[in-house]
Amino acid sequence: MSTSVIPGQLVAALDETQVAQEAATRIAKAIREAVAQRGIATLALSGGNTPRPAYERLSREPNVPWNKVSVFWIDERAVPPTSPRSNYKLAKESLLDAAPVPPENVYRMIGEAVDLDQAAREYEVLLRKLLVGTTVFPREFPSFDVAVMGIGDDGHTASLFPGEASVDVRDRLVLSVPEAAEKGREARLSVTAPVIENVETVLVLAVGAKKKEPLQRIWSVAGSTKDTPARVLRDVRGTVYWIVEKAAGGFDG
Ligand code: 6PG
């Protein structure tokens, strides 16, 4: 097996519950620190199955100034916000309503848009408006204080999938990603690699034996983002916490 180097801090968790709690604790801490520094925090959420328990626990974390937190998405499926496939619906049910996050602080990706590329461009304009050049976001490149990321069994993250050109795009912040009907995958909206690379604190959650192989591909020194787009997580300039359950290799790191 090629040499592995974990680009960040490995947080080994015994089970899914511990992954959720370790994530919730660290997200809450990063939010408090961002608000203490700048009076506001930006949180970007992934979807899928893994993050739900973490979002539920996060909604119960003490002393989180939710009225100062703006919530964005890392990616969204091309479905209405009421669809069980919607990453917005997942977050609304598990975190936003319970925290609660003021609705005016919630910036949903418009997955149901007829013109998905136009929706991607509009979300990019929103990110540039809210995250760049303002007093509270003195960063030269738009990104988030905190982002929750997952790993697909195929080695994707966000909606940057193997074999797609999306992972190589560096002149856009947000992209529409075509459907892959043969894989039963609807079209998506996704932030691009540069946005992920510029996040201050990234929490990567991995639960289940199916994550072990993609994680090894990500952590391997040798590899390509074309085959394993989640390798973009190796280039995050901020702090990356790999919160990995035992079956996913958390203790084999
Ligand atoms: C999505 C997610 C995606 C997810 C991985 C892992 O919209 O599906 O943003 O990137 O993080 O597919 O999904 P699971 O947590 O369901 O394994």
Q: Which of 122, 126, 70, 74 is nearest to 101 (CA)?
A: 70
Banded model confidence at residue 139, pLDDT cuts 50, 70, 90? low
Lowest mean pLDDT among 51-55, 143-147, 249-253: 249-253
Ligand 1 atom with the shortest distance to the CA of 149: 11
pLDDT more than 90, % of the chain:
90
Mutating to test ligand 1, I would choose from 77, 151, 202, 211 the residue with most ligand atoms within 8 A of its C-beta, which is 151
Residue with CA nearest ligand 1 atom 13: 48
Cα 90 to ligand 1 centre (Å) = 12
- Strands 188-191 and 174-177 turn out to be antiparallel
Tokens of 70: 């703006």
Residue with CA nearest ligand 1 atom 2: 47
Q: Are 248 and 215 in contact (CB under 8 A)?
A: yes
Q: What is the model's pLDDT at position 138?
A: 58
Tokens of 221: 């020194």
Ligand 1 atom with the shortest distance to the CA of 50: 15
Mutating to test ligand 1, I would choose from 16, 19, 45, 46 the residue with most ligand atoms within 8 A of its C-beta, which is 46
Average pLDDT on 151-158 reads 98
pLDDT tens sequence across 51-80: 999 999 999 999 999 999 999 999 999 999
Q: Considering the entire predicted model, what is its pTM?
A: 0.96
Exposure string (b/e) for 111-145, b if CB count within 10 Å is 16 or more? bbbeebeebbbebbebbeebbeeeeebeeeebbbb
| Contacts of 85 by beta carbon, 8 Å cutoff, 6+ apart | 77, 79, 186
Residue with CA nearest ligand 1 atom 11: 150
Cα 205 to ligand 1 centre (Å) = 10
How far from the centroid of its chain's Cα atoms is residue 134's Cα? 23
Pairwise CA distance, residues 203 & 150, whole Å: 8
Cα 138 to ligand 1 centre (Å) = 30
Q: What is the model's pLDDT at position 132?
A: 73
Q: Which residue has the higher pLDDT, 81 or 132?
A: 81
Ligand 1 atom with the shortest distance to the CA of 87: 7
Mutating to test ligand 1, I would choose from 49, 94, 157, 188 the residue with most ligand atoms within 8 A of its C-beta, which is 157
Q: Which of 59, 182, 76 is nearest to 123 (CA)?
A: 76
Pairwise CA distance, residues 70 & 61, whole Å: 17
Q: What is the model's pLDDT at position 142?
A: 82
- Pocket residues for ligand 1 (CB within 6 Å)? 46-50, 74-75, 77, 87, 150-152, 156-159
Cα 252 to ligand 1 centre (Å) = 22
Pairwise CA distance, residues 82 & 226, whole Å: 33
Helices 51-58 and 16-38, packing angle to 10 deg = 50
Q: What is the model's pLDDT at position 253?
A: 58
Write down the mean pLDDT value for the chain: 95
Q: What type of residue is 74?
A: I
